[in-house]
Amino acid sequence: MNTKLGYVLLAAGKGTRMHSDSPKVLQTVLGKPLLGYVFDALRQVPPNIVWTVIGFGAQEVRSVFSGRDLQFILQEEQLGTGHAVSLAWPEVEASGLSHICVLNGDTPYVPVDEVEALASMCAEEGAAMGMLTLELENPFGYGRVIRSSEGTVLRVVEEKDFDAVEHGGEVHEVNSGVYVFDVGRCSNLLAKIDRDNAQGEFYLTQMISICSEAGLPIVGMPFGNSELLRGINSPMDLVNFEETLRDWIVSSHLHAGVILRNANSIVIGPDVEIEPGAELVGPCEVYGCSRIERGAKIASHCWIKDSILGSCQVKSFSHIEGSRVWAGATVGPFARLRPGSDIGQNARIGNFVEVKNTVLHVGAKAGHLSYLGDSEIGAGANIGAGTITCNYDGVRKHRTEIGAGAFIGSNTALVAPVVVGEGALVGAGSVVTKDVPDGVLCVARARQTNIERKKR
């Protein structure tokens, strides 16, 4: 039987146990928000049939995902999961969907294939709803699945309301938080959810007992004891999941042909691309949409985010963000490339050099102790130690242009906006406030005067 399936994502909670001022769904795993994993898993689903219910920190959530085509529904007062779904339900009904899947935004893994199979099972068996369940040795913290003697799902009892004696002993089958509802059958039943529980909230899990009492079938599809569907409710849950995912990602790159030395101390984000033949030495961290190409060598203690690295060499203790480093270039040690940096072929950024929104063309070099901001540096130019591009006047940023083959002496201040011509030489210790023509020597400093000291 054909089903038309949409999704409602529950992302309104504060997550008190996380002890954070930010919404729980914005806690990061390998540099990526939990809710971002859910959105990415559903990227093939048309955005007009995915609704995200937000509440605590709603504006922060909107801001983080402002670049995506998303439908948000505001839950101003967080009265539970049942209340959250009821807010989205008018949109669901109007969409013409046959089934809707409800997911928690704090569970990064979305078993799309299993959800679709569950929806098909619900349709085939005429079930009002279905759910994925887990079998856990230690079920503490999870809602327990209560079945009849025939194995039919009757209800789910939340942790705070569960009593092992009352329910005939410990129950190890738990609710994964992944549901599928038949929209037509459940529309009139959703309003029957009440707040008669320890938390005084509208639990979506009550729909199980409501459907059961109405004589409507409920499907419970076991998902084994997988760690992947366990929600993240505490800092320990967060870092345990992160370590599990980190290990899986590192192993995947190793099997693909990437050389990862001291692999246990290497962190690689889920959206990072690394070509076989690249080499990284731990400890190091690579995040965001970074790409590291074949032949690149990244030494230990480096931090890289949203950057593209060709067949270059990055030496220890370097920090690279939002930058491009081309083949043959060297960076570091102790270098910092800030967003907008473009380091050309065979160019060199040495120790304690900071670069921001600057292009270094082929073979240009800045060996040590310099700041290059909002600049364009020509091919083969040499930037002496202690050079500073003074790019900010207190109100606006200004650009510095240094021509091909120019030589900037040590301890020079280039007060932008300023142009140093091709082949020009700027004497050490100069403060350059005017353009320097091609091929000339510029000395912009006071004449040295030696004065006899008075003897005491």
* DSSP result, 11-54: E----GGG--SS-GGG-EETTEEHHHHHHHHTTTS-GGGEEEEE
Whether cis (ω within 30° of 0) applies to the bond prior to 33 is no
Tell me the Cα Rg of the chain: 30
Q: How does residue 223 score in pLDDT terms, banded at 50, 70 and 90?
A: confident
Which amino acid, one-letter code, is at 258? V
Of 299-308, 427-436, 440-449, the one with minimum mean pLDDT is 440-449
Q: pLDDT at position 55, please?
A: 94
Judged by DSSP in three states, 257 sits in: coil
Q: What is the mean pLDDT of the chain?
A: 93
Percent of the chain with pLDDT over 90: 74
Rounded mean pLDDT, 195-202: 84
Token code pair at residue 394? 């207190």
Q: Is 129's pLDDT higher than 90?
A: yes
Q: pLDDT at position 9, please?
A: 97
Of 14-28, 169-183, 420-434, highest mean pLDDT: 420-434
Q: pLDDT at position 235, please?
A: 93
Q: Is 435's pLDDT higher than 80?
A: yes
Q: What is the DSSP string of 353-418?
A: EEEES-EE-TT-EEEEEEEEESEEE-TT-EE-TT-EEE-B-SS-B--EEE-TT-EE-TT-EEESSE
User: Domains plus CATH for the chain?
Assistant: 5-222 (3.90.550.10), 235-442 (2.160.10.10)
Q: pLDDT at position 1, please?
A: 58
Residue with more model confidence, 380 or 227 = 380
Percent of the chain with pLDDT over 70: 100
Q: Is 158's pLDDT higher than 80?
A: no
Question: The whole model's pTM is what?
Answer: 0.89
Cα separations in angstroms, 277 against 253, 269, 272, 295: 10, 19, 15, 6
Check residue 187 and report its DSSP letter. Answer: T
Separation between Cα atoms, residue 110 and residue 54, nearest integer Å: 18
Q: pLDDT at position 247, please?
A: 96
Separation between Cα atoms, residue 260 and residue 249, nearest integer Å: 12
Is 368 catalytic? The answer is yes
Q: pLDDT at position 169, please?
A: 83
249 closest CA partner among 310, 299, 290, 295: 290
Q: Are 294 and 308 in contact (CB under 8 A)?
A: no
Q: pLDDT at position 16, please?
A: 85
Of 7-16, 60-69, 155-164, 251-260, the one with minimum mean pLDDT is 155-164
143 closest CA partner among 109, 118, 172: 172
Separation between Cα atoms, residue 419 and residue 423, nearest integer Å: 12
Of 217-226, 251-260, 352-361, the one with minimum mean pLDDT is 217-226
CA atoms within 13 A on the CB side of 376: 10
Rounded mean pLDDT, 142-171: 81
Q: How does residue 157 score in pLDDT terms, banded at 50, 70 and 90?
A: confident
How many angstroms from the chain centroid is the CA of residue 204?
A: 29
Q: Residue 92: left if φ>0, alpha if ψ -120 to 50, beta else—which one?
A: alpha
Q: Residues 168-186, buried b or exposed e (16+ Cβ, 10 A)?
A: eeebebbbbbbbbbbbebb
Residue with more model confidence, 293 or 158 = 293
Rounded mean pLDDT, 354-367: 98
Separation between Cα atoms, residue 36 and residue 424, nearest integer Å: 50
Rounded mean pLDDT, 294-301: 98
Rounded mean pLDDT, 186-204: 88
Q: Is 277's pLDDT higher than 80?
A: yes
Separation between Cα atoms, residue 402 and residue 361, nearest integer Å: 10
Q: pLDDT at position 176, please?
A: 86
Q: pLDDT at position 456, please?
A: 61
Residue with more model confidence, 273 or 222 = 273
Q: pLDDT at position 99, please?
A: 96
Q: pLDDT at position 293, please?
A: 98
The residue whose two tokens read 């690279």 is: 320
Which amino acid, one-letter code, is at 35? L
Q: Is 161's pLDDT higher than 70?
A: yes
Q: Residue 96: left if φ>0, alpha if ψ -120 to 50, beta else—which one?
A: left
Q: How does residue 140 score in pLDDT terms, banded at 50, 70 and 90?
A: confident
Catalytic residue among 19, 83, 301, 368: 368
- Which pLDDT tens digit goes with each residue over 20-51? 888 999 999 999 999 999 999 999 999 999 99
Burial of 2 per CB tally in 10 Å (0-12, 13-18, 19+): exposed
The residue whose two tokens read 């410990």 is: 170
Separation between Cα atoms, residue 375 and residue 389, nearest integer Å: 8
- Which pLDDT tens digit goes with each residue over 361-412? 999 999 999 999 999 999 999 999 999 999 999 999 999 999 999 999 999 9
Token code pair at residue 316? 């220890």
Taking the alpha carbons at both ends of the chain, their separation in whole angstroms is 105
Which amino acid, one-letter code, is at 372? L
192 closest CA partner among 181, 176, 203: 203
Check residue 192 and report its DSSP letter. Answer: G
Q: Which residues contact 153 (CB under 8 A, 6 or more apart)?
A: 131, 145, 146, 147, 208, 212, 218, 219, 220
Which amino acid, one-letter code, is at 432? V
